[in-house]
Amino acid sequence: MEAHTGSVNLPETPVFRAKGQPGTEGLPAVVESPGRVPRHVAIIMDGNGRWAEQQGLPRLAGHREGVNAIPRVVDLLAQRGVQFLTVYAFSTENWSRPSTEVEGIIELLDETLRRETDHFNEKNVRVIHIGNAARLSNDIRLAVDRIQHETRNNTGIVLNVAFDYGGRQEILAAVRELIREGVSPDDITEEVFSRKLFTAHCPDPDLIIRTGGELRISNFLLWQSAYSEYYHTPVLWPDLDAQEVDRALADYSQRQRRFGNIVPDTGG
């Protein structure tokens, strides 16, 4: 994978990870969730800026409220039996936003990483960063590695934080890694390829939720979402509450996941 660069000394838990690499030990076994609860939920957290505008506040206030919503939603989904949660915190394309907004988001990341470590340990949450850390400062990269290291033994829900993440970039990174390793084209299967992705430690998402009413994929988990169920809600990310989470899970539970097959008619 395209690891971060620089001379910083990193803890033993790496930012980029795949099955079989150091740092994946201790991840919870993937088991079937009872009552058709999705094992892996991914969320495109959209609507922070619009939330701030509705409140008459600057956009950064919306991002702060959005960051504050993450622990709440993690707790809600963990209580309902979800084993993996991936949140789309910052895309590779978000760097093109105004520099003041980007700098504010980065500062929020640093602040949150330092503040929430104790909370996630108390709640038995394991935190893993997926994406490219090369453009982050050394201090923030150390903070990312620190929360991963300090939560590495937790056995509850796994929280994947997709920061500086892009689905196309992830696929290119996996292809480059296979080329560097000299893997024969005939030996590249879906399983081999998936092991080179940032999400190799977890199953593909069963359910992808997008808040804010938009209907775009936005370069998120392009490979992994081939058979994911989608749920779109007009609720803005900072306002996502237990009622809307339960509505999304209930909607998911009613769907027939065919994976390209035909479901037999079980009617009388």
Residues catalogued as catalytic: 46, 94
Separation of alpha carbons 256 and 251, rounded Å: 11
Record the tokens describing residue 233, joined without a space. 């809600």
Long-range pairs, 168-173, Cβ under 8 A, ≥24: 168/219, 168/222, 169/92, 169/132, 170/130, 170/197, 170/198, 170/222, 170/223, 171/197, 171/222, 171/223, 173/1, 173/2, 173/132
Instruction: Look at residues 107, 106, 199 and name the one whose alpha carbon lies nearest to residue 159.
Output: 199
Cβ distance 268 to 247 under 8 Å? no
Kindly list the distances between the CA atom of residue 1 and the CA atoms of 122, 150, 190, 195, in Å, as whole numbers in the listed order.
31, 23, 17, 11
Q: What is the 3-state secondary structure (H, E, C) of 40-53?
A: EEEEECCCHHHHHH
Separation of alpha carbons 171 and 2, rounded Å: 11
Separation of alpha carbons 7 and 56, rounded Å: 43
Cβ distance 87 to 162 under 8 Å? yes
